[in-house]
């Protein structure tokens, strides 16, 4: 009797957890920074992409393979810092849109902006511009950090600037434009 009661209670708890989980809708860009097993794929994938772009951006530099081996992990970390800067902007705007206002037209604007930033940037022009600003911010952070890393590693300023610019443009977090609403049918 007691065992049956325990099984029912466990079953009810599992069902409640599933219901709570399905009631949480998060933007895809926020899920990238949630510690999950997805990181076991994201970190090596980012490293490989950064390594490929760095090697390509160095042109016919002698010893570029060795240079890449020594510096790609720094470039990869700089990329994650840039991505975090972009997410911070998106998260700040997303949270700001949740504030209440007495002006109905401003409330409607905030609602559309919040939905656009969080779930479909193509649904509202201001939301698209916020997401574009966040990708640009992330790219700028990547550029400045990568340029500093490459100059410190011994590249001349022009080569460091050229490589950092290519890394920033190619590895900017364009995934922020992905409409999460597609996943949630929202």
Do the beta carbons of residue 142 and residue 79 sit within 8 Å? yes
Residue range 73-89, pLDDT digits in tens: 999 999 999 999 999 99
Domain limits, the chain = 27-184
Q: What is the pLDDT of residue 80?
A: 92
Give the C-alpha distances (Å, rounded to integers) separating 168 from 33, 65, 142, 163. Answer: 19, 20, 5, 9
Answer yes or no: is pLDDT of 6 > 60.
Answer: no
Quick one: CA torsion of 46, 47, 53, 59, rounded to 10 degrees?
A: 180
- The answer to whether residues 78 and 144 touch, using CB atoms and an 8 Å cutoff, is no
Determine what percent of the chain is predicted with pLDDT higher than 70.
Answer: 83
Q: Give the model's confidence band at 8: pLDDT under 50 very low, under 70 low, under 90 confident, else very high.
A: low
The residue count for the chain? 186
Give the model's pLDDT for residue 23: 42
pLDDT at 19: 42
Q: Are 68 and 54 in contact (CB under 8 A)?
A: yes
The CA distances from residue 7 to 1, 2, 10, 11, 131, in Å, are 10, 9, 5, 6, 47
pLDDT in tens, 123-151: 999 999 999 999 999 999 999 999 999 99
The more confident residue out of 89 and 19 is 89
In this prediction, residue 2 has a pLDDT band, given cuts at 50, 70 and 90, of low
């Amino acid at each position: 009797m007691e065992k049956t009661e325990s099984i029912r209670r466990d079953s009810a708890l599992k069902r409640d957890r599933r219901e709570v989980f399905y009631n949480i809708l998060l933007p895809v860009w926020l899920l990238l920074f949630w510690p999950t097993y997805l990181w076991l794929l994201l970190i090596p994938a980012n490293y490989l992409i950064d390594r490929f772009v760095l090697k390509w951006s160095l042109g016919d530099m002698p010893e570029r393979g060795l240079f890449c081996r020594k510096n790609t992990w720094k470039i990869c970390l700089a990329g994650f810092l840039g991505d975090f800067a972009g997410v911070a902007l998106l998260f700040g705007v997303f949270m700001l849109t949740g504030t209440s206002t007495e002006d109905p037209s401003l409330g409607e604007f905030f609602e559309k902006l919040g939905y656009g930033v969080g779930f479909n940037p193509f649904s509202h022009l201001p939301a698209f511009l916020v997401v574009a600003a966040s990708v640009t911010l992330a790219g700028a952070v990547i550029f400045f950090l990568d340029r500093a890393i490459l100059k410190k590693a011994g590249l001349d300023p022009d080569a460091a600037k050229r490589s950092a610019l290519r890394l920033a443009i190619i590895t900017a977090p364009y995934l922020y434009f992905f409409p999460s609403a597609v996943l949630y049918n929202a």
